[in-house]
Structure 1
Amino acid sequence: MANPPAHKELEFDEHTEDGYSKAFVDSCTEETPMRRGVLLHGLCPRCHGPMDFPVVSQANRGTRSKGKARTATVPLLCTCTRDHQGRPGGEHGCGAYWNIELS
């Protein structure tokens, strides 16, 4: 992503919208392999804050049938470290959440 959108200083709000999944996937710059999955790097689709989200693939995929790709619905939430007024103590993000499909 050449010019990422500027961070929006929104109040904390547990919120989702239909376009969040596609917006996050389109913003992902890389997947860093981890011992039991991957770390996704992208932008929150609501506040545009940079975020990393670990996906533990061993727990999501199980065994694979020969020749068949397996997908998993993975719930994500904003984990940006930017300030969002009204955010509960000890929490990260702006409150946005969405699902993505991983294979």
Structure 2
Amino acid sequence: MIDVLAPKPLAKAIGARCETQRHLDCLNRQIAARAGRQAITVKVRSRARRRSGPRLYHQELVDRLAFERWGELDTLASRLAVQEQIIDALEHCGDAPVSPGAR
């Protein structure tokens, strides 16, 4: 007998993982863009005085902004790890041989 309900939990888990990954990527892009804008603002304000190289300062800003939002980043990363485990478990269950008595 074919179990038509088996792929649905896996598909749902994969969809949830994709959504979480998309949210995490969006958050990282927001942090990078904000750091870029702040680096440009600082560069314009202090043309005569150089603190450090523009790339180094940009990375410092990214790190600071990521630290400020570490709670959200950590929550998404944890959720993503759990979803990966669920997907692995569902894929592993699908590979298990069916016992003859289960029919």
TM-score range, shorter chain: under 0.3
Tell me the TM-score normalised to structure 1 length.
0.22
Tell me the TM-score normalised to structure 2 length.
0.22
Larger RCO, structure (CA 8 Å, separation 6 or more): 2
Q: Computing the radius of gyration over CA atoms, which structure comes out larger, 1 or 2?
A: 2
